[in-house]
Amino acid sequence: MSDAAQVPLILASASPRRLALLQQIGVDPRHLIPADLDETPLRGESPRALATRLARSKARAVREQANGQPELADCVVLAADTVVAVGRRILPKAETIDQAEACLGLLSGRGHRVYTGLAVALPGGSLRHKIVETRVRFKKLSRQEGDDYLASGEWRGKAGGYAIQGLAGAFVVKLTGSYPNVVGLPLYETASLLSGAGIDVRALWRDPLRLPA
């Protein structure tokens, strides 16, 4: 059971990492409704544009679902999408060991960028969004380090084939920007968007039983 105050919020994600990050700042969404969308990049689409488009599309899709259900109609919808890129090359969410190995080869010894698109859809239909960028540099990985990480299986389903909050944190030599952004949800920007949508995060800290008006 979370100590966070439950608020009329739908998190449009099945990610346990995003839920844990929200709860870290005292926000416990009333509902979890992941959006099932094709996340394939469009031809020529930049990493920043992809993260923004997918976050907005997820928020709109779940907003449409919520509008058709009276018990969800008053909820704010929060959606996010995280993209890892080396230059303009978008790295996949690794599902096979070959994909993960290719990602590690691209990340080893060089910098990359992590973009998270955020979108909030209000009951009235308006939508607000932000894009957050973090720069990360990995050490030059030895063959043994790469093989050991691949053997861990931690890469599976992770954007760019790694989880910074897990074993791969040992590879990071430099990070510029938001750390929780790399995990999957930049907290400062999320709190700002929610406040603009009527969910006063800091008010929840003062009175955990208070619900937004």
The residues annotated as belonging to the active site are 81
DSSP, collapsed to helix, strand or coil, labels residue 62 as helix
**Cα–Cα–Cα angle for 182, 187, 191, rounded to 5 degrees:** 150
Residue 135, H or E segment: strand 127-138
Task: Find all residues with CB under 8 Å of 56, minimum gap 6, and list them.
Answer: 79, 117, 119, 127, 129
**Residue whose C-alpha is closest to residue 158's, from 84, 88, 107, 86:** 84
Q: Give the burial class of 83: count Cβ atoms within 10 A of its Cβ; 0-12 exposed, 13-18 middle, 19 or more buried.
A: buried
